[in-house]
Amino acid sequence: MKLFSRVLAAVAALAGAAALVAPVRAQDYPTRSITMIVPFAAGGPTDVVARIVTAHMAQTVGQSIIIENVVGAGGTTATTRAARAANDGYTLITGHMGTHAAAVPLYPKLAYHPEKDFEPVALLAGTPILILARKDFPPQDLKEFIAYVKANTAKLNAAHAGIGSVSHVSCELLNSVLDIKPTGVPFNGTGPAMNALVGGQVDYMCDQIVNAVPQINGGTIKAYAVATPERNPSLPDLPTTAEAGLPAFQAQGWNAIFAPKGASPAVVAKLNAAASRALDDENVRKRLLDLGSAIPNPQERSPEALAALVHSEIAKWTPVLKQASN
């Protein structure tokens, strides 16, 4: 009996010590570099937003934040890996409306659930969707685009970043509204897809504004409309879809940081504060706004607000995508 009580006492002492260490560990976090998984190829909108914000966050938390581009399956390969990562705060992911909402109805056997397998950390940016085409695409405006793609749908190809990506689901909505079925051409991200559009190898694409502003201003692609109720300050001459005669096509992406389920509230709070501080930095704000991003206001930045956004976006895109697939 003596041995058992000695073992119990030792276990209690160890548990007590561990309990003391845990908060200290969270207080000291981070004590080494952090990996930020980006589920698409370098140079695309998710990568660009992640790099702009995490570069500032790293200064605040005092450790480097290393971007790791993990591609495939519309971002779900990376997101599955992030869901299974250690929840110690050293592996994070920059997910978005595709990986953490639209993928749910599109992948019946999805290996994660955005609401069950992640801790929401911070919303980074809203990214309005544009209708883009190669610069020698014949239509001169959205009305002509609609007539042209309806008349030529069998020979058209539309680029996207994989099933469930923002570029894929937003053009699924567009194609459903126009009742057309072009050939989808998948890429590992809309960085490479944009290269193909600039090169004229694909006809059109629905992409996040942050990936298109430089090309539009450089005249290397065509932009027909922005799918938000208001024009975007970074492209003041680009009409909204409503102005151009297609009010039914409204679409906006967003990017946000998630940690694996079980990451400590203290770690989440520290990362959330660093992200918010980045979004208040004038240089970070200028870079995001110049690329057409919508920067969340303080009320939209809490982990709870992000959880509510994920929930509402899953509810929004599920019927839209089921309708589009009919």
Q: Which residues in this chain contact ligand MLT in the complex, by CB under 6 A?
A: 40-41, 44-46, 96, 98, 161, 165-167, 189-191, 208
Q: Rounded CA gap, 201 and 272, in Å?
A: 41
Shortest distance, CB of residue 116 to ligand MLT, whole angstroms? 22
Query: Which of residues 190 and 241 has its CB atom nearest to ligand MLT in the complex?
Result: 190
Answer left, alpha or beta for residue 54, where phi above 0 means left and psi between -120 and 50 means alpha.
alpha
Query: Which of residues 170 and 234 has its CB atom nearest to ligand MLT in the complex?
Result: 170
Shortest distance, CB of residue 142 to ligand MLT, whole angstroms? 21
Shortest distance, CB of residue 208 to ligand MLT, whole angstroms? 6
Tell me how far CA of residue 125 lies from CA of 20, 134, 192, 277, in angstroms: 37, 26, 21, 14
Query: Which of residues 228 and 264 has its CB atom nearest to ligand MLT in the complex?
Result: 228
Shortest distance, CB of residue 210 to ligand MLT, whole angstroms? 9
Residue 102 near residue 164, CB atoms below 8 Å: yes
Query: Which of residues 139 and 186 has its CB atom nearest to ligand MLT in the complex?
Result: 186
Query: Which of residues 48 and 146 has its CB atom nearest to ligand MLT in the complex?
Result: 48
Alpha helices in the chain (DSSP H): 2-28, 45-61, 76-83, 103-106, 142-152, 166-178, 190-198, 213-218, 265-279, 282-290, 303-324
Which of 4, 253, 258 minimizes the C-alpha distance to 113? Answer: 258
What torsion, rounded to 10 degrees, do the Cα atoms 17, 18, 23, 26 define? 140
Shortest distance, CB of residue 193 to ligand MLT, whole angstroms? 7
Shortest distance, CB of residue 221 to ligand MLT, whole angstroms? 15
The SS3 assignment for 227 reads: coil
> Cα 243 to chain center, whole Å?
27
Query: Which of residues 98 and 120 has its CB atom nearest to ligand MLT in the complex?
Result: 98
